[in-house]
Chain A
Amino acid sequence: MREIATMAWRHTSRRQSRTTLTVLGVAIGFGAIIAILSLSFGVKRSVEATLRPIASDAIVLPLAREVYDSSSVGQVGIGQGGGILSRLRASRIETVGIDQETFNEIVSTPGVASYLGRSTPIPVRAIWRDREIRMTVTAIDPEGEKPLGQIVLDSGDWPGYMEGLASQILLRLRQVSVGDRITLASEEGERYNLTISGIVGQSREARFGAPPNVPLLVTFQTAALFTNDTSYSGIVLSTSDMAEARRVADAVQSGYPNLTVLTFEDFTETIERTLNQYSLFLLSIGILAVAVAALGSANTMVVSTMERTREIGMMKATGAKNGFILKGFLLESALLGLVGGIVGVVFGYVGSRVLEYLVVRLNIGRLAGATARFSPYIPLWLIPFSIFLAVAVTLISGSYPAWRASRLDPVEAIRYE
């Protein structure tokens, strides 16, 4: 075997330009696959890291429902059920918040350790340094929010009655600081002076639904000043673990079929399904590159066996068995795959960094969540696996030329010109 390996190595290293080109072909093919997979793994990892903190949560959302609008007959609706006539009636999709009574029943579901409810955005007019702006406020329950840690305070304190928590949005819109006063007017025109109690910090980790994407957060008591109908845009039910979250979700879902109840599993399942389709598409491009590399490798081996026909004939004439010749050429193929695979890993790493740059630059890497930073990830097992696969591919592509070489007739081979 040592002699076979020596011959394989020397033959391979002797034909430098051909070997280099073949190795490059294999390396590019596998580099592309590694880079593509790193993208997919990176997104997946980012999604999991993003959703991990809510692994034991169940998220309750109001179900979007179809609202018929007779004033716009003739438009085709998106809703479900009903006959053709009813579907021909115009409709629009509307999301109705969860009312207080339903909220109370849901949060008292057995297994719920703590909960977090947020109101639907409430439209208000704000008077700010003699200028009136239209914006929305969201009502939160500070006592419920505190243990969940979804809203992190940058400065100040949680809001009390007639106080407001300024979000980063408001901070970007207007220079605001703790202690500032802001006047809010209800739709009926009544004015209330609120004090800014604190500033919401930049969320270090993206968590579902946090922080609320509105300028100002107030308590439910304060919100009641501007609206009579404080409904909930969503509820986060925290439980002890993932299994409990599933049980709670099932219980809520069976009691309220008009609501959407999601768990960590539901999120990851949906995201994974989307990611898999996306990865499959990219992988097919990579596989095409590998197929081209395999053809290149096969071509190299065919040329190599043709060039060495006389040598093969002489080896057989002096006693080499078919198996010896076969092993020699297979080893050469494997060597091309091994070197190509190793270089491919390097290419893959560089490629993943380039992709990261492109993805971040093009800002399309936000599949994982609102604030999650996406970064390609190459799991350790992918390195030996890719090298193994590169060796396997070149072995398969080199098997026919190797077999043909081993079956050469020694008399014919020695005469070969």
Chain B
Amino acid sequence: MSNDIVVSLVGVSKVYRIGDQLLRALDKVDLQIQRGETLALMGPSGSGKSTLLNLIGCMDKPSEGKVLIEGKDITSLTHDELAETRALRIGMVFQFFNLISVLTVVENVEMPMVYAGIGTRSTRREKATEALDALGIADKANRLPSQLSGGERQRVAIARAIINKPAILLADEPTGNLDSQTGKIVLEALRRLSAQGQTTLIATHDQDVMAYAQRTLNIKDGRLA
């Protein structure tokens, strides 16, 4: 497998059991994402976007098929190995920011390094400040998330997601909870990261994302079009 392929999905299906019924959220999906690529993942609600992101994000395992992150099959990994992969190889940005309310902005950004056991306290602080600076919110480093606007919180979440220089940055409706003006600022931040070579997969309904994405994936009923 080429070193340029960051994510590879081979015949991936995901089936959920809801009561007595089986729900096929993903159906034999094949996908390869190249390093440095930016993809937009489009599809109606319930089409399987989040399931696909969860599988690539090592938060879930497929019912069938293989998910390879930088060539490593995640289906055989233990809980702790999956957690380590998430900390080091995956960056996640959620629609609702999901920051730790009791930690300051800079402490939130440091957390993936803490989980992975990377660096000393001072080097972690230094890297986190740099990441915040890159996203234009270094001056908010010592504030609590509750003291920030929605756009600022989402930029903190992006800083947290990229702190360990992940193989792929996954964003699930990153502007879904923001007004259009703030959404534009967040998208601009993501676009700049893409321009710097960060592999990114963004699940979105936003047409602006498609404008700068190199590839758009359309998903419907658990299948990629």
* Interface mask (A277-313 → B, CB under 8 Å = 1, otherwise 0): 0000000000000000000000000000000001101
Known: A3-B107, A320-B111. 4 other contacts (CB 8 A): A14-B102, A310-B96, A318-B87, A318-B112
Is A318 a contact of B107 with CB atoms below 8 Å?
Answer: no
Give Cα A321–Cα B114 distance, bound, in whole angstroms.
11
Is A317 a contact of B92 with CB atoms below 8 Å?
Answer: yes
Check if B116 is an interface residue, CB within 8 A of chain A: yes
Give Cα A318–Cα B110 distance, bound, in whole angstroms.
11
* Interface mask (B110-149 → A, CB under 8 Å = 1, otherwise 0): 1110111000010000000000000000000000000000
Is B112 a contact of A319 with CB atoms below 8 Å?
Answer: yes
Nearest B residue (CB) for A7: B102
Contacts of B59 in A (CB 8 A): 316-317, 410-411
Check if A6 is an interface residue, CB within 8 A of chain B: yes
Give Cα A11–Cα B115 distance, bound, in whole angstroms.
19
Nearest A residue (CB) for B103: A7
Known: A3-B114, A314-B98, A315-B100. A321 touches B80 (CB 8 A): yes
Contacts of B94 in A (CB 8 A): 314, 317, 414
Contacts of B161 in A (CB 8 A): 318
Is A319 a contact of B116 with CB atoms below 8 Å?
Answer: yes
A14 to chain B, nearest CB (A): 6
A-B complex: 4 closest residue pairs judged by Cβ atoms: A319-B87, A314-B98, A10-B102, A319-B115
Could you say which of A2, A311, A316, A324 contacts B100, with CB atoms under 8 Å apart? A311
B214 to chain A, nearest CB (A): 25
Is A411 a contact of B87 with CB atoms below 8 Å?
Answer: no
Nearest A residue (CB) for B55: A411
Check if A177 is an interface residue, CB within 8 A of chain B: no
* Interface mask (B87-112 → A, CB under 8 Å = 1, otherwise 0): 11010101010111111000100111
Nearest B residue (CB) for A9: B102
Q: How many A-B residue pairs have CB under 8 A?
A: 75
B118 to chain A, nearest CB (A): 10
A-B contact pairs, 30 of them (CB 8 A): A3-B110, A3-B114, A7-B100, A7-B103, A10-B103, A11-B102, A311-B98, A313-B98, A314-B99, A314-B100, A315-B111, A315-B115, A316-B59, A316-B86, A317-B57, A317-B59, A317-B86, A318-B87, A318-B115, A319-B83, A319-B86, A320-B111, A321-B83, A321-B115, A322-B79, A322-B80, A323-B80, A410-B59, A411-B54, A414-B98
Q: How many residues of B contact A (CB 8 A)?
A: 32
Contacts of A317 in B (CB 8 A): 57, 59, 86, 92, 94, 98
* Interface mask (B154-195 → A, CB under 8 Å = 1, otherwise 0): 000000110010000000000000000000000000000000
Check if B70 is an interface residue, CB within 8 A of chain A: no
* Interface mask (B12-39 → A, CB under 8 Å = 1, otherwise 0): 0000000000000000000000000000
Contacts of A311 in B (CB 8 A): 98, 100-101
Check if B221 is an interface residue, CB within 8 A of chain A: no
Give Cα A311–Cα B102 distance, bound, in whole angstroms.
11
Contacts of B110 in A (CB 8 A): 3
Contacts of B60 in A (CB 8 A): 411
Is B102 a contact of A324 with CB atoms below 8 Å?
Answer: no
Is B111 a contact of A2 with CB atoms below 8 Å?
Answer: no
Check if B84 is an interface residue, CB within 8 A of chain A: yes
Is A319 a contact of B107 with CB atoms below 8 Å?
Answer: no
* Interface mask (A1-45 → B, CB under 8 Å = 1, otherwise 0): 011001100110010000000000000000000000000000000
Give A362-417 interface residues, CB cut-off 8 Å to B. Answer: 410-411, 414
Could you say which of A10, A318, A411 contacts B111, with CB atoms under 8 Å apart? A318
Give Cα A322–Cα B84 distance, bound, in whole angstroms.
11
* Interface mask (B50-72 → A, CB under 8 Å = 1, otherwise 0): 00001001011000000000000
B61 to chain A, nearest CB (A): 10
Is B92 a contact of A6 with CB atoms below 8 Å?
Answer: no
A353 to chain B, nearest CB (A): 38
Contacts of A414 in B (CB 8 A): 94, 98
Give Cα A411–Cα B92 distance, bound, in whole angstroms.
12
